[in-house]
Structure 1
Amino acid sequence: MRYHRITLPIRYRIHALHQAGHRPTEIAEQLGYHRTTISKELKRVTPYDADQAHQHALAEQSRRHSPRIAVHLWAMVTARLKEFHSPEQIYGRCKLEGQPCPSIEAIYQFAYRSPELTAFLRQGRKSRRHRSCARKAPELWQSITERPQEANKRSEIGHR
């Protein structure tokens, strides 16, 4: 079974089959959907109505694709970055003024996405340094040729 959206004509068929007394499993088998998909669709609007369910699904879909952070907030963040404010200062000022604001990490990610804004960050780097590059991992294992002779004799406790 591959994924495909439920369209309005299919919702009319679901409605007709549901009115006829078919269970969600039977409806799913007839229409080629998973039984869980049909069960969720029937629970979308109670009592089930195809037109209302379709309107509800379209509203949910548009809500899902809207940006979490408004465009005017990003404009404010851009303006403050160009004034050489750090992301921490921008976040702190927004909280102090009681304005909604993206998190510090979101501001950094936004700045690193556009090359023109990275010049306004305090460090002025074009990209972030990864922590894994900053420190080298210690050698965990010693070669068997480098182990002490006492270990070969197994004379001490712990040398097996």
Structure 2
Amino acid sequence: MDISIVVLKELDEGVHYLADMSASEGHRHIQTLVREYQSGQNQFRASGEILLSAMVDGKMVGVCGLNRMTLENNEDIGRVRRLYVLETYRRYRVGKTLMTAIIHEAQRHYQALVLYTNNPVADAFYRNLGFISCTTMGKSTHYLDLRENRVGGDG
């Protein structure tokens, strides 16, 4: 399976489809991405921010964003936002491919990366990428020191 990563400059029907599909699974975070993007609250356009999509055969199958951490005005920390992969494309390394691109982008701007999840499967996924559990960074559950960790392995 050939996965390409594309920088999203605008939301298109692919993101809306992902929002509908994630909602059908009981997840609201991609609908939140759409709502915040459309309102201008979060368009992933500040320095060190990016919104990426994963494409397979011209179809958008995943999305993930990177924001500057706003807690405590710490500009050395990035935050992973809104990772989602269509259910039928999970286990094909789409999530890892998206996260690898996010981590590489984050390494250009930040010393660390944080994220929040309450999903045990996602917890295992992020730990496999080198994230560790954390409870001291605001509403974050996982932390990755970008100065020490590089994405690799078969995870």
Give TM-score scaled by structure 2 length. Answer: 0.24
User: Greater relative contact order: 1 or 2 (C-alpha under 8 angstroms, separation 6 or more)?
Assistant: 2
Higher share in strand: 2
By percentage of residues, which structure has more helix? 1
